[in-house]
Each structure stands twice: as C-alpha cells, then as structure tokens.
Amino acid sequence: MSDVIGVAWFKDERTYREALDVFTDPGNMPARYEDWRTLVRKQCELIKSGGNVAIRADIDPQTIVQWCNAHGFKADSQGRTAFANHVALEYQKTGQGIIIE
C-alpha cells in the first residue's frame, strides 16, 4: 500500500510571497517562488518514485497562522509539515484532495 504524503503548496507567486511574510522562518524557504517550484517538483518526483502519492496541502497565508496556533504549532517548518500531514490524513479518510501528478 502506498503512503499519502502531504506537500505544502502555494498556488501562485503572490500567495507564496504573502506566506513568507507570515512565517516565522522565511529564511528556511527559497526566497523566490520559482526556486520553491523547482524544489517541490523534485520532492514530488521522489515521493512518486517511491510508489507513494503526493497530495497538495494548499496554504492560505490568511489562515495558516490561525491553524498553527489552534493546533499548538508556530507558523514555521514544523507547522507547515503538521498542516501537510493533516491534509494527507484527511485525504485518506475522505478521498478528497488534489493529487500532484
């Protein structure tokens, strides 16, 4: 059985820039959206080459801080990972979500 792995996802450059403004660790992320896209493409290739499923965990800069606070995380890499894991679990329960092809 394949694993479902959530990948923190930003729908466009504007969303990415806004997210960098709310994260407490923007220095841990690529400064440019295109660099993030390159990194996430490689990550998704690795996930899929292992026989697993990559699922989009769409991050909304307006609500990610609230989600993190409500679940005991800072809006940082651990919070992003926790959110992505949450989305993956929801996909496993409901079958609803966007698979990264």
Query: What domain count does the chain have?
Result: 1
Provide the pLDDT for residue 1.
61
Taking the C-alpha atoms of residue 95 and residue 51, their distance in angstroms, rounded to an integer, is 18
Residue span of the structural domain in which 18 resides: 4-94
Q: Give a yes or no: residue 70 inside a domain.
A: yes
Per-residue pLDDT of 34-50, as tens digits, reads 999 999 999 999 999 99
- Look at residue 94 and tell me whether its pLDDT is greater than 70: yes
- Look at residue 24 and tell me whether its pLDDT is greater than 70: yes
How far the first Cα of the chain sits from its last, in Å, is 18
Per-residue pLDDT of 74-92, as tens digits, reads 999 999 999 999 999 999 9
Provide the pLDDT for residue 101.
87
Q: Give a yes or no: residue 47 inside a domain.
A: yes
Q: Give a yes or no: residue 99 inside a domain.
A: no
The sign of the dihedral angle between the CA atoms of 20, 60, 44, 77 is: positive
Q: Give a yes or no: residue 29 inside a domain.
A: yes
Nearest in space to 65 (alpha carbons), one of 93, 25, 94, 101: 25
* Contact by Cβ (8 Å): 16, 10: yes
Reported pTM? 0.93
